[in-house]
Amino acid sequence: MPQRIAFVASPTEDAQAARVALVARHGDTPVEAAEVIVALGGDGFMLRTLHRHMARALPVYGMKLGTVGFLMNQYHLVDLPERIARAQPTVLRPLLMEAVTEAGGSTTALAFNEVSLLRQTKQAAHVRVSLNGVVKLEELICDGILVSTPAGSTAYNLSAHGPILPLGSQLLALTPISPFRPRRWRGAILPAVTAVKFEILDPYKRPVSATADSYEVRDVVEVHIRESREQTMTLLFDPEHNLEERILNEQFEL
């Protein structure tokens, strides 16, 4: 049973108060010496925690003390070590984004939820879509387009009417955002090993930004996306409320 717990909390009043109460019961270990991280907040804070502590690759057990808690367990003050000991692990493999800008620079970033492209002005984006080096859409006219992991498929992807992907499916969702042409194209489900390439057509008149989770790169001309082969993070979920069950239930929400 892990005893060396590092507590991290969002800056909200409720999350900070919960951290004080939990530290009083269990003590607090620096992340560098911990066996597990307990994150207190919402899904946004969980994503920041995953990014911030990727180098340590510790399992993360989240408790909901925020607005949205799809990636979190319910908050309870008692029995935390026992809950962590019986929690079920879910391994997340992020997307690796490489974005090339108008200035010729190249930026890489990781995304546990999705990589999204969005128009920067009132002008619709014109995007060429290639998969594994083969052009599949010569010109997509849209507000944007995204590639989502299974864990992120119930977030922005679902809001854009993309499919919900079960965990362990080894799939990605390719979802357009307000497509104008081809009007009837609603996206695709891709094998996780697919290499996705977006080329921005007429980037000077129709500028586009690329975002990996919350990290944004503006004025991109080309974006490459693939599943990371090097990096993983593990989330811990209570057996009665695990992420796979939530993804299944989400498909029956009206």
What's the rounded mean pLDDT across residues 122-146?
Answer: 97
CA separation for the pair 195, 200 (Å, rounded): 17
Q: Inform me whether the pLDDT recorded for 242 exceeds 70.
A: no
CATH number, residue 161: 2.60.200.30
Q: How far apart are CA 61 and CA 238, in angstroms?
A: 9
218 and 103 within one domain:
yes
For 187-222, how does the pLDDT look when each residue is reduced to its tens digit (9 = 90+)? 999 999 999 999 999 999 999 999 999 899 999 999
Whether 145 and 198 have beta carbons less than 8 Å apart is answered as yes
Return d(Cα 104, Cα 106) in angstroms, integer.
7
pLDDT tens for each residue of 148-163: 999 899 889 999 999 9
pLDDT band at 1 (very low <50, low <70, confident <90, very high): low
143 and 202 inside one domain:
yes
Q: Is 247 helix (H, G, I), strand (E, B) or coil?
A: helix
pLDDT at 116 over 90: yes
| Same structural domain, 171 and 199 | yes
| Whether 99 and 210 share a structural domain | yes
What is residue 157's DSSP assignment?
H
Co-location of 216 and 243 in the same domain: no
Residues belonging to the active site: 43
Q: What is the pTM of this model?
A: 0.86
Whether the CB-CB separation of 118 and 209 falls below 8 Å is answered with yes
Q: Which helix (H) or strand (E) segment is 173 a member of?
A: strand 171-177
Same domain, 239 and 192: no
Query: How many domains in the chain?
Result: 2
Query: Structural domain of residue 132, as residue ranges?
Result: 95-227
Q: Which two tokens stand for residue 134?
A: 């083969």
Say yes or no: 110 and 73 in one domain.
no
SS (H, E, C) 81-144: HHHHHHCEEEEECCEEEEEEECCCCEEEEEECCEEEEEECCCCCEEEEEEECCEEEEEEEEECE
Give yes or no: residues 100 and 222 share one domain: yes
Q: Report the pLDDT averaged over residues 69-80.
A: 89
Q: DSSP string of 15-73?
A: HHHHHHHHHHHH----GGG-SEEEEEE-HHHHHHHHHHTTTTT--EEEEE-SS--TT-B
Residue 86: its pLDDT value, please?
Answer: 94
Same domain, 102 and 223: yes
Average pLDDT over residues 224-228: 97
Any idea what the CATH number is for the domain that residue 45 is in?
3.40.50.10330
Same domain? 107 vs 131: yes
Tell me: do 138 and 191 sit in the same domain: yes
